[in-house]
Structure 1
Amino acid sequence: MRGRVDSGGVARTVRGCGRGTLYTRPVIFKAVGEGRPYPDHGLTTPAQWSDVPPRQVRLDELVTTKRTLDLEALLAEDSTFYGDLFAHVVEHKGIMYLEDGLHRAVRAALHQRALLHARVLVLT
């Protein structure tokens, strides 16, 4: 079961998100998930993702695909040095899934930012 926080701060069930947490108050993400409940998109390298233009997304609209965060990646000064500068998000059936960049999103939240720059791949 997944939770979505509406404008009044009340959690609602989100269908199609797989197992996860239903929140009863406003939180950083729309929901915390585990796994990718969308079809394989075939983008596996940073070079392939670089064709997807980055844009801003709200953290509270994202459903994570990972339940755990590597604290070392969160605290590393060069966490984006070897990879893409932008998080990777897949939008499927109107739901935005944070596929890669959980540490970037948490870091943005810790800096009290509600927005994250991400490459958003829309699957139809």
Structure 2
Amino acid sequence: MIFKAVGDDRPYPDHGLVTPSDWSKVAPQQVRLGDLVTTTSTLNLATLLDSDSTFYGDLFPHVVSWRGTLYLEDGVHRALRTALHHRSVIHARVLEL
């Protein structure tokens, strides 16, 4: 399996970071794909192609660290591409809550 788990919600509290500009203040770091829990179980093209998605905006996926678990909030398309290239580590912005 690529990820630690596939989730379908965001179990952590609202963090207030919405736009790529908000997230740009969080420095990227390396994260193992096998340590991530997704917050969506499907890849929605409408969301992917939205102007606020990391497809157009931020180059790094957005991860929230909460209660010892890393949740992949945005950028599942980048994580999947990384896995398809047989890599197990990705650079992501990790917000500690």
Q: TM-score, normalised by structure 2?
A: 0.88
CA distance in 2 between counterparts of 1:56 and 1:113 reads 12
CA distance in 2 between counterparts of 1:122 and 1:80 reads 19
Q: Secondary structure at 1:42's aligned position in 2?
A: coil
Unaligned ranges ≥5, structure 1 = 1-26
Instruction: Please report how far the alpha carbon of residue 72 of structure 1 lies from its aligned counterpart in structure 2 after TM superposition.
Output: 8.8
Identity of aligned residues (%): 68
Count of residues in Structure 1 that have an aligned counterpart in Structure 2 = 93
Which structure has the larger Rg? 1
The aligned residue for residue 4 of structure 1 is none
Q: 1:98 aligns with which of 72, 76, 79?
A: 72
Q: Secondary structure at 1:34's aligned position in 2?
A: coil
Q: 1:108 aligns with which of 77, 82, 95?
A: 82
Q: Which amino acid aligns with 1:51?
A: K
Is the 2:2–2:83 Cα contact (8 Å) retained in structure 1? yes
Instruction: Please report how far the alpha carbon of residue 41 of structure 1 lies from its aligned counterpart in structure 2 after TM superposition.
Output: 0.1
Instruction: Please report how far the alpha carbon of residue 70 of structure 1 lies from its aligned counterpart in structure 2 after TM superposition.
Output: 3.7
- Give RMSD over aligned pairs: 2.0
Q: Which amino acid aligns with 2:61?
A: A
Moved over 3 A (4+): 70-74
Query: Aligned ranges for residues 45-84 of structure 1 at < 5 Å?
Result: 45-70=19-44, 82-84=56-58
Unaligned ranges ≥5, structure 2 = none
